[in-house]
Each structure stands twice: as structure tokens, then as C-alpha cells.
A and B are shown apart, each in its own frame.
Chain A
Amino acid sequence: MSVTPENLGDLSRRTLLRRAAAAGLLATPAMGLLSACAGSEPKKSDDTGGAKSKDNPFGVKDGSAVKVVIFNGGLGDQWAKEDKVIFNAKHANVTVNMSSTQKIKTEEQPKMATQPSDLVMNSGADMMDRSTLINEGAIEPLDDLLAAPAWDGEGTVADTLLPGTVSDGTQNGKFYVVNVAFTVWGNWYNAALFKKEGWQPPTTWDEFFALAPKIKAKGMAPYVHDAVHGYYPRWALMASIWKSAGKQVVVDIDNLKDNAWKADGVLKALEPWEKLVKDKLLLPGKLDHTQSQQAWLDGKAAFIQVGTWLKNEMSATIPPGFELTISDYWSNAGDKAPKDVFAASGEGFVVPSKAPNKAAAKEFLRAILSKEGSAKFAELTKSLASTKGSGDNVQDSALSSANALMKNGGSELISVKFQDFYADLDKESQNLSEELMAGRLTAQQFIDKMQTAADKVAKDSSIKKQTRTA
């Protein structure tokens, strides 16, 4: 046997590592090497063509063509094909070239600066960043669409939209994004089961806590929620805070006002949730969204809190006779806004600034938002459209209960902005929501920790502050 210090392979490996270290030390600042992407000014193009009239408010030119791109996700694209029929009934000589895809950004973004489609449904995981689109001047303000007469109803297009739709699509004081769908959040139950057992769906926490022992006696857990994604329980907690403490407190929370989390009513809103956990009314296990939804469909839990996409998401496994019904989050006696509903519009359409036929794009939007079009949307997708009354004539327990919830709701829609404003608070509130729902935090500790997190963001000069007004 001979003894050598190192074999060759060993040597080269060491050398490589040493060189890597050297490269790290030699690294020099590379400022300004990534220059701004060459942005081009949006070209002002005039939509002069056809004559403008009440039935043709944007002057769509006969014989022109309009290219419409639909996001073919959970809602499918059949509803959009119906809108094409509705559109062509009024403009028989305008050609609608409709395509559907799931890759909006991949396919549409490269065309935005040169030859974009006329109307793009900017939705799904692969969507174009909205703020960037607006800041770069890549999409058109659509305020004239809001002012235009409704397709088949009274008043203007704006009058026909559900509350919140216009403000959801507005940025920097202009209306850019036309959200066509409407999501409502709340507590879901199986109406068929409740009828069979003679249970009255609760509207207040007291009624729920009175009903819970009866549910438990049937071998069911009273409540289940997604225990993996913190934003699921956060919807419920923030809805309770809004109902209990009123809108202004949530606005203050969003604006990082001093001691906003410690305002009157916040603790009272969270205490029932603490009690729900302490009394062991939750289904055991830390299930994610689909697992918990399936457990609820399997009859392991009586209530689940989630939004109105539930029916579409679980459509493959809903047992026959199961009546998915949504009810409002429960309130307490003495709440400031017990009837306000947690709801928001989504699935936004945009018109590119360089679109060749903007008039027809806007006209097509008017058709989508029509009574006829929105009713078709609700019928086919089992989701509410952002146009008022879309679910009025649809026989579906999930949709009609959501529709009823919106109709009986208070004057305001519950909305929370801090999670969109500040990533730190988003993460922290998700974590703390799950901690509260796991019983590792009391309601008071949750509030204290949220206040600490909010103060930290307020003091951090590296974070750009945003303000909520309405």
C-alpha cells in the first residue's frame, strides 16, 4: 500500500470550490446593466367608423371584426359563446373572432405593444399584472362604457352592476377592469340534511352554539375550514370583525392606524371563534381546501366556510340530493353591521390601448353585462355575474342562496385590503388566523400580535404605504 496526500478527483473538487469562492468575492456591483424595458407610448387611435346611436353608443362599424380572448378556466367558455350570439343579434355584420385559452399572459402579453386582441379576459394563474398594465398605459380606461346605456335594461351600464364592481375595477381614479363574475363568501350547509333533521340554519353565533350539540349528537362535527391556507379562515375572521366593529374599523386596520386592531368590537368578533375551537366544534385534522370540502360533502361536518366557487370546484364529487346552500357569516347581538355581506367581483376583462377595434370591444362588454348575457352566465357557471339579478331565474340551491344573500345584504359589501397592500401583513394574518383556529392563540393574543405586526409595517420605511378611502 502506498500513501498519497490526495487523489486527482479530490484535488479538482477542491479547486472548483476554491474558484467558486473566488468568483463570489470578485463579484462587482452590476448597477444599471438591466436597463428599463423599452416602453412605447400607447398610440391614440380613434374609433371613428359607424354612426353612434343609443343602440350603438360606441359607433361600431358594420363589416368590422373584433377579436375576443376568453380565459377557459373553472368557469369554462360556453357562457362567452352565448354572449357572441347575443352580440350578433344586434350587430349581425360584425364578425366576432373568439378564442379561449388558459395562458393569457403567455399568449397576449407579447402582442400588447404591437397588435393586441380587442378584448382580453385577464384571469387565471397566468394573468397579466394589472397595476403594470395600467401604469404602462397598456389598457384603455372604460369610463365611457359605464356611462353608456344598458344593453337591455333601464339606465346606464353602471346602474346595472352589483355594488363594488365599479370600485373593484377602478385604479388611479379611472375604470379599467370589467369584472364579470361575483363571488360571495359565507357558511355553507346542506339544506336537504337540515330539513331532514329539522335543524334551523343559524344566523347568529348564539343560535349556532345552541344547535352545535344536536349536530354533535348525530356524530358530525359542527364546523370545518381549510387549516392549511391561512387566507381561508382569515376571510371569516375579517368578516366577523367588519360585522361587529363596523366598516370604519376595517378601513382603519387597512390604513395601519394606531391601535386599529384594539378598537371596540374586534375582540367581541373573535371570541366566538375562540369558543368554537375551545369547545371542540371543529372537525379534527388539519385539512386543506379540497380535503375539508370533501369531508363536508361526505357529511363529516355540518358547516364549512368558503366562497361561491365551491360548487364548481367540487362538482365531480357532490353526492346526489346534496343541496349546497350558502348563508351569511354569523353575527352577535349588538353588532354594528350584521347584515353586510362579504362579496367581491372578479374575472376581469380589459381592452388593450392599441386594440384595433375598441368600439366593438366595448360593445361586446355591454353584451356580456346585459340581463340576457349575465343570466346565461349564471345558468352555465352556477356563479353569480356582476350584473344585478343574474341568478333570479336559475334553479340551483348554491346560486339562488348566494343571490338571496346579496339581495338581503346590508348597504355595504365587506372588503379587506391590507393583505393586498402589504405582503408582510398578508403572511402574518394568515399565520395568526390558523394559530387562532388551532387553539394556540386566544382572541386577545391574536389582536395583540396583529397590532404588533401592523405597527412594524407602519414603521418600516422600506415598505411603500397605501391608503384606503372607501
Chain B
Amino acid sequence: MRHGVARFVTGFLALPVALYLLYVVWPFVQAAGYSLTDWGGFSGSQNFVGLDNYVRLLSDELIRKAFWHNVFFLVTVPLFTIALALFLAFLLNVGGREDRAGIRGVFGSGLYKIIFFFPQVLSLVVIAVMWQQIYRTDGQGLINGMLIKIGLVDADNPIAFTADPEPFLGVPAVLWWLLLIAVWSGAGFYMVLFSAAMQSIPKDIFEAAILDGANRFHTFFRVTLPLLRDTISVAWVYLGFIALDMYALVFVMTPSQGGPNHASEIFASVLNFTAFQKGQYGYACAMGVALAIFTILLAALQLRITRRDRIEY
């Protein structure tokens, strides 16, 4: 009997695993292989150059710049997205008034949930194109137009948004504007994730806390947050992956795909340029492999740090 089950399972798994090996794992292996060559991308010949490409990575100024921009997103995207999503989820689930029916969200929370989740339904490119109109750099842009009308922005000097490389808090303004979009488009999904987690927390824990005189601030930081630790940790890792990518936003929204003048260059944009415009596929593969290794290390580290005893209820 058990033997039959194994064969049944194997039969079902063989094809997907084969496809996965062929179309996912094999390209990974190939990329790692090409990263040790000077392959140009169009010919069948390449020379083995050992670790030269990786040595070159270390002294590449553009890559260093891109790396720090990725680190900026790595810190800010999860931080702001999780903070916003937690805040919204708390308001929608337990932030409302308490009455005889128990703990509930603020008035109209069902509608808000749909609205906040909405960006998740759109593809990232659609979001980018929409934000191009919002961020338009003259009086016809949504933000500029309104601010000019009410006199907060000078019509001769409108906000340049993603065309603005001037540093704000030491980071080019364009990265902050991209961050805003990333947080806006990501918060909805994590709000739903946290909502689900919050709803699985028994109401009596909150009621007990309230009976003991806890206010909203206390319930959030002493009860909700500790009980959501696992979910937040998972969200942090996923958002970390997203922050290391950010490619679609940079590609669609910024001048010269990483501009102005390299102010929004990230790993993926440098990789894209190196492979498809410079025709240095070998070097580009090395960038990809380096990014992959960095991502894996980061995820491992993240999971290690947040590993903790879990409370079951």
C-alpha cells in the first residue's frame, strides 16, 4: 500500500520537477558557469577567465553605487511597508471602539481593506505608468498641478520627482520617490497578511488586556506585535527580496534606466546594461550570481536572527 502511494506521488512529481530542473535550476547553473567566462552573448565561443569577473566587481564604482542603493531599499522598503501595513491592519481589526460585541476595527474597515489591497491587483508596470502621470514634472502632473494651484510649488520650479538626483538625507531624491511607490503598492498585501494573523489571535487575549487597563498603544505593542512576530519575520524576508529587485520601477520610472546620471542605479539596472547594451554577458552573469549569493546569505541571516520560541494558542 505505502509503495503504491510513493509511486503515485512520484508519477505526479516527475514532470513538474523535470520542468523545474530544466527551466529554473539549469539556467542558474549556466549563469554561474558563464560568470567564469568572457562570453559576449552572441557567439558560441568564450574563454575561461576564472574569477576575473568577480575581482572586477569589487573595483567597479558603478556596482558599488548600485549596491548602496539596493541597501537603501533593503532597509527602507521592509521598514516602511511593514510599519504602514501593521498600522493599517491594527486599525482595521482591533483599532475601533470596544463594545458588547467585543473588539472590532474602525468604521467601514471592510471597504478600506479592498481599497488598500487594490494596488496588489495591478502589475508593477501598470503601477509605474500610472505614477508617471502622478509624478509628471510640470503643471499637468497630479501632484505638481495641485501644489502649483494652491501655491505651495513655484510653477517655474516644479518638483522633478524621479528626475531629481539631489540628495535628501544623504540619499538621492529619486530613490525616495521610488520608495514611496514601492511602499504604496506593497502595503496592501501585507496588511491583508497581518489582518489574517491578527484575526487568528483569540479575542479574549485583547479583552483580558483591556480589562487590565491597557490602552490601544499598550495592546498593540504588548499583545499584537509579539504575537505577530512570525508573520512579520516572513514578510521581512519577502520584502527584502523585493527591495533587492526594484527593477521594474527603476526601469520604467527613471531617466536612462538608472538615472539621472546613475542616481538611481541598482544591481539589476547595471546588470541589464552590462549584458544587453555592453554585450558583456560573462561579467553580467557574475553580477547576477553575486546578487544571488548576497540574497541567500541575507535570508539565512534574517531567519537565524528571528528564530525564536513560538507561542501557540
Contacts of A125 in B (CB 8 A): none
In Å, the complex CA distance between A1 and B278 comes to 60
Q: Are A31 and B33 in contact (CB under 8 A)?
A: yes
Q: Are A35 and B44 in contact (CB under 8 A)?
A: yes
Contact of A20 among B29, B139, B296 (CB under 8 A): B296
Decide yes or no whether B312 CB sits under 8 A from chain A. Answer: yes
Q: Are B256 and A427 in contact (CB under 8 A)?
A: yes
In Å, the complex CA distance between A158 and B137 comes to 47
Decide yes or no whether B126 CB sits under 8 A from chain A. Answer: no
Q: Are B28 and A430 in contact (CB under 8 A)?
A: no
In Å, the complex CA distance between A264 and B248 comes to 43
Contact of A132 among B42, B45, B299 (CB under 8 A): B42
Distance of A228 from chain B, by nearest CB (Å) = 5
Q: Are B29 and A30 in contact (CB under 8 A)?
A: yes
Q: Are B138 and A287 in contact (CB under 8 A)?
A: yes
Contacts of A7 in B (CB 8 A): 230, 310
Q: Mark A2-28, 1 if CB is under 8 A from B, else 0.
A: 111111001001100110110110011
Contacts of A426 in B (CB 8 A): 277
Contact of B44 among A37, A230, A435 (CB under 8 A): A37
Q: Are A24 and B292 in contact (CB under 8 A)?
A: yes
Q: Are B25 and A23 in contact (CB under 8 A)?
A: yes
Contacts of B307 in A (CB 8 A): 6
In Å, the complex CA distance between A5 and B289 comes to 33
In Å, the complex CA distance between A434 and B138 comes to 17
Q: Mark B169-203, 1 if CB is under 8 A from A, else 0.
A: 00000000000000000000000000000000000
In Å, the complex CA distance between A435 and B44 comes to 40
Decide yes or no whether B14 CB sits under 8 A from chain A. Answer: no
In Å, the complex CA distance between A27 and B29 comes to 5
B50: nearest chain-A partner, CB-CB: A29
Q: Are B296 and A24 in contact (CB under 8 A)?
A: yes
Decide yes or no whether B10 CB sits under 8 A from chain A. Answer: no
Contacts of A427 in B (CB 8 A): 256, 273, 277
Decide yes or no whether A133 CB sits under 8 A from chain B. Answer: no
Decide yes or no whether A285 CB sits under 8 A from chain B. Answer: yes
Question: Contacts A27-B29, A228-B163, A287-B137 known; A21 to B157 CB distance under 8 Å?
Answer: no
Which B255-301 residues have C-beta < 8 A from chain A?
Answer: 255-256, 259-262, 273, 277-280, 283, 289, 292-293, 296-297, 299-300
Q: Are B33 and A27 in contact (CB under 8 A)?
A: yes
In Å, the complex CA distance between A37 and B43 comes to 8
In Å, the complex CA distance between A35 and B45 comes to 8
Q: Are B310 and A423 in contact (CB under 8 A)?
A: no
Q: Are A286 and B160 in contact (CB under 8 A)?
A: yes
Interface of A, secondary structure class, is loop
Contacts of A229 in B (CB 8 A): 255-256
Distance of B255 from chain A, by nearest CB (Å) = 5
Decide yes or no whether B32 CB sits under 8 A from chain A. Answer: yes
Q: Are A33 and B261 in contact (CB under 8 A)?
A: no
Which A11-65 residues have C-beta < 8 A from chain B?
Answer: 13-14, 17-18, 20-21, 23-24, 27-31, 33-37
Contacts of A295 in B (CB 8 A): 138
Decide yes or no whether A280 CB sits under 8 A from chain B. Answer: yes
Q: Mark A404-431, 1 if CB is under 8 A from B, else 0.
A: 0000000000000000000110110011
Q: Are B32 and A24 in contact (CB under 8 A)?
A: yes
Q: Mark A65-77, 1 if CB is under 8 A from B, else 0.
A: 0000000000000
B163: nearest chain-A partner, CB-CB: A286
A14: nearest chain-B partner, CB-CB: B303
Q: Are B296 and A431 in contact (CB under 8 A)?
A: no
Interface size class of A (residues with CB under 8 A): 35 or more
Contacts of A14 in B (CB 8 A): 303
Distance of A75 from chain B, by nearest CB (Å) = 26
Decide yes or no whether A284 CB sits under 8 A from chain B. Answer: yes
Contact of A23 among B28, B160, B297 (CB under 8 A): B28
Q: Mark A160-174, 1 if CB is under 8 A from B, else 0.
A: 000000000000000
Decide yes or no whether A211 CB sits under 8 A from chain B. Answer: no
Contact of A431 among B42, B230, B260, B299 (CB under 8 A): B260
Q: Are B30 and A431 in contact (CB under 8 A)?
A: no
Q: Mark A434-465, 1 if CB is under 8 A from B, else 0.
A: 11001010000000000000000000001100
In Å, the complex CA distance between A283 and B160 comes to 13
**By CB atoms of chain B within 10 A, which of A21, A28, A36, A285 has the most?**
A285
In Å, the complex CA distance between A23 and B26 comes to 10
In Å, the complex CA distance between A24 and B297 comes to 11
In Å, the complex CA distance between A291 and B138 comes to 10
Decide yes or no whether A310 CB sits under 8 A from chain B. Answer: no
In Å, the complex CA distance between A7 and B160 comes to 48
Distance of A458 from chain B, by nearest CB (Å) = 15
Contacts of B313 in A (CB 8 A): 1
Decide yes or no whether B37 CB sits under 8 A from chain A. Answer: yes
Q: Are B312 and A4 in contact (CB under 8 A)?
A: yes
Q: Are B309 and A5 in contact (CB under 8 A)?
A: yes
Contacts of A438 in B (CB 8 A): 163, 260
Decide yes or no whether A432 CB sits under 8 A from chain B. Answer: yes
Which A144-172 residues have C-beta < 8 A from chain B?
Answer: none
Contacts of B156 in A (CB 8 A): 280, 284
Q: Mark B6-40, 1 if CB is under 8 A from A, else 0.
A: 00000000000000000001001110111011100
Q: Are B29 and A431 in contact (CB under 8 A)?
A: no
Distance of A55 from chain B, by nearest CB (Å) = 43
Contact of A33 among B33, B157, B279 (CB under 8 A): B33
B234: nearest chain-A partner, CB-CB: A13
In Å, the complex CA distance between A40 and B231 comes to 58
In Å, the complex CA distance between A28 and B35 comes to 11
In Å, the complex CA distance between A426 and B277 comes to 10
Contacts of A35 in B (CB 8 A): 44
Q: Are A1 and B312 in contact (CB under 8 A)?
A: yes
Q: Are B138 and A30 in contact (CB under 8 A)?
A: no
Distance of A317 from chain B, by nearest CB (Å) = 14
Decide yes or no whether B105 CB sits under 8 A from chain A. Answer: no
Q: Are A434 and B260 in contact (CB under 8 A)?
A: yes
Decide yes or no whether B118 CB sits under 8 A from chain A. Answer: no
Question: Contacts A3-B310, A35-B44, A423-B273 known; A17 to B299 CB distance under 8 Å?
Answer: yes
Contacts of A6 in B (CB 8 A): 307, 310
Q: Are A423 and B278 in contact (CB under 8 A)?
A: yes
Q: Interface of B with A (CB < 8 Å)?
A: 25, 28-30, 32-34, 36-38, 42-46, 48, 136-139, 144, 155-158, 160, 163, 165, 230, 234, 255-256, 259-262, 273, 277-280, 283, 289, 292-293, 296-297, 299-300, 303, 307, 309-313
A-B contact pairs, 12 of them (CB 8 A): A1-B311, A3-B309, A3-B312, A18-B300, A23-B25, A27-B32, A229-B256, A280-B156, A427-B256, A430-B259, A435-B260, A438-B163
A sample of 6 more A-B contacts (CB under 8 A), given A4-B310, A34-B30, is A24-B296, A27-B289, A31-B37, A36-B43, A430-B256, A431-B256
